[in-house]
Amino acid sequence: MFLEDTVNHSQRKGWIEIICGSMFSGKTEELIRRLKRAQFAKQRVEIFKPQVDTRYDDEEVVSHDANRIHSTPVPAASNIPLLADQVDVVGIDEAQFFDMELVAVCNKLANRGARVIIAGLDMDFLGKPFGPIPHLMATAEYVTKVHAVCVKCGNLANHSHRKTDDTGLVVLGEKDEYEPLCRSCFHQAQQLSS
């Protein structure tokens, strides 16, 4: 008997996809596009976001361009597997706001056969790796890094520069609080603020 004779070919194969980058780079837009395509293909889809993210809507995932898709807000990553049973595709937005348990949760879902699509900031406002995203990038099968446009010079931006004096790690905000900057403009802004 050959090994392939013992494999159940009908078993679903799961994987993890990461969509990361700075603020205003189109992460949520790309997440919504992938999830809507899965829904169009009649796949069972569940979408989650952290309960703390209420910027545009309490329940829906909404992009800066106002595209939206229904989601389930959850207080912690541990809630996701309980609500994602028997689904084909799991979408998670603003993943940087979850704790490190999200890494184990996503790997468990992928191991069960789900396609897990995660969108989130890869760096915080100081330019340091943010939350579980770097760890998820290491275990993901697919990583897409999207870029905004630097508001100072027009180059590709990969930093989310905070324009306020708030030093808390998690500060929800939009264009009044943050701007996308390239590496050079970000470092110039950091030097001016220190």
Do 147 and 155 form a contact (C-beta atoms < 8 A)?
no
- Burial classification of residue 151, based on how many CB atoms lie within 10 Å of its CB (0-12 exposed, 13-18 middle, 19 or more buried): middle
Catalytic one of 30, 46, 94, 179: 94
Query: CA-CA distance, 116 to 42, in Å (whole number)?
Result: 16
Q: Distances in Å between the alpha carbon of 34 and those of 28, 162, 166, 173?
A: 10, 29, 34, 25
94 catalytic per annotation: yes
Catalytic residues: 94
